[in-house]
């Protein structure tokens, strides 16, 4: 049995993953992770980080942080604050929360100072190569046109995954590559691993499923 994949579940701003529903969704992640031995990270909205982190033992990540320090930055989200709320990592530059390259760099540096693990999202191989130079822990390649489509990137565009893995491994061998967009089934995860990804980043296939826990069990079942 090869190395188990990492599953990162982004709750986005879906009502099915908000408030008390965020706690419920995170508990499903915790139960399936405990039963399968597959690491699952819950990624709720910022205001829900504390209540989720108090309710589960699995890692809880923020969906975004700003590369600002303590002080007069109204409306920003600091690495220190999400850390103190119980997050142990964060997404950066998600397709739905795009940053300039300089902002990605300052967000990674800020995350590092607060000992947050970083997953930097990218939309193509060139951007993957660019952000890999900042040596985040993870890069997550997600073609925007497949996000929410239910068409898994690992099958619809395998070359973007393969290309991202080889590009990253050329310059930063320690950076792991995840892939996302349209992932919902265990065989989508198996296909991603075949392409050299270390795991997947996903949302609607689980969050909006009729039975999210059953969807999670299927997701980790075929690995
Ligand atoms: O963060 C993961 C997300 O962008 C993928 O969305 O709904 O296609 O799994 P979805």
Of residues 40, 50, 48, 39, the one with CA closest to residue 13: 48
Name the residue with higher pLDDT: 42 or 1.
42
Output the average pLDDT for the chain: 96
pLDDT score for 2: 58
Question: For residue 115, which phi and psi values (nearest 5 degrees)?
Answer: 55, 45
Residue 167 has pLDDT above 90, yes or no: yes
**Dihedral sign, CA of 177, 183, 188, 190?**
positive
Question: Do 180 and 140 contact (CB within 8 A), yes or no?
Answer: yes
- Mean pLDDT to the nearest integer, 180-196: 94
What's the residue count for the chain?
A: 223
pLDDT band at 190 (very low <50, low <70, confident <90, very high): very high
The pTM for the full model equals 0.97
Of residues 181, 178, 180, 192, the one with CA closest to residue 222: 192
Domain residue ranges in the chain: 6-104+125-206
**Cα of 159 from ligand 1 centre, angstroms:** 18
Q: Which of 20, 137, 142, 176 is catalytic?
A: 142
pLDDT score for 200: 98
Chain-centre distance for alpha carbon 89: 9
Q: Is 142 a catalytic residue?
A: yes
Share of residues in the chain with pLDDT > 90 (%): 96
Determine if ligand 1 sits within 6 Å of the CB of residue 177. Answer: no
**Cα of 112 from ligand 1 centre, angstroms:** 25
CATH top-level class of 6-104+125-206: alpha beta
Share of residues in the chain with pLDDT > 70 (%): 99
pLDDT score for 222: 72
**Cα of 149 from ligand 1 centre, angstroms:** 9
pLDDT tens digits, 51-79: 999 999 999 999 999 999 999 999 999 99
Using CA atoms, how far apart are residues 174 and 132, in angstroms rounded to an integer?
Answer: 10
pLDDT band at 1 (very low <50, low <70, confident <90, very high): very low
Query: HEC string of 76-129?
Result: CCCHHHHHHCCCCEEEECCCCCCCCHHHHHHHHHHHHHCCCEEEEEECCHHHHH
Q: Is 94 a catalytic residue?
A: yes
pLDDT score for 4: 84
Using CA atoms, how far apart are residues 72 and 166, in angstroms rounded to an integer?
Answer: 41
**Dihedral sign, CA of 104, 110, 113, 117?**
negative
pLDDT band at 119 (very low <50, low <70, confident <90, very high): very high
- Mean pLDDT to the nearest integer, 28-40: 97
**Dihedral sign, CA of 127, 129, 130, 132?**
positive
Using CA atoms, how far apart are residues 5 and 187, in angstroms rounded to an integer?
Answer: 12
Residue 10 labeled ligand binder: yes
**Cα of 8 from ligand 1 centre, angstroms:** 10
For residue 149, the ligand 1 atom closest to its alpha carbon is 8
Determine if ligand 1 sits within 6 Å of the CB of residue 182. Answer: yes
Using CA atoms, how far apart are residues 12 and 63, in angstroms rounded to an integer?
Answer: 7
pLDDT tens digits, 131-157: 999 999 999 999 999 999 999 998 899
> Mutate which of 11, 12, 185, 219 to test ligand 1's pocket (most atoms within 8 Å of Cβ)?
12
């Amino acid at each position: 049995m090869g190395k188990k994949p990492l599953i990162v579940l982004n709750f986005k701003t879906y009502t099915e993953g908000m408030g008390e529903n965020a706690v419920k969704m995170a508990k499903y992640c915790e139960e399936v992770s405990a039963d399968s031995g597959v690491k699952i990270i819950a990624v709720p909205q910022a205001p829900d980080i504390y209540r989720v982190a108090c309710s589960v033992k699995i890692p809880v990540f923020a969906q975004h942080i700003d590369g600002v320090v303590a002080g007069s930055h109204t409306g920003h989200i600091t690495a220190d604050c999400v850390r103190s709320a119980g997050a142990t990592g964060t997404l950066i530059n998600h397709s739905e929360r795009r940053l300039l390259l300089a902002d990605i760099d300052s967000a990674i540096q800020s995350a590092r100072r607060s000992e947050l693990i970083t997953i930097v999202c990218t939309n193509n191989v060139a951007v993957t190569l660019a952000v890999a130079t900042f040596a985040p822990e993870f890069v997550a390649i997600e073609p925007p046109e497949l996000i929410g489509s239910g068409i898994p990137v690992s099958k619809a565009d395998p070359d973007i995954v393969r290309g991202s893995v080889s590009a990253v491994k050329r310059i930063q061998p320690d950076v792991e590559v995840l892939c996302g967009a349209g992932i919902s089934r265990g065989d989508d995860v198996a296909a991603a691993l075949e392409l050299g990804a270390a795991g997947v980043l996903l949302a609607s296939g689980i969050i909006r499923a009729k039975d999210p826990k059953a969807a999670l069990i299927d997701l980790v079942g075929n690995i």
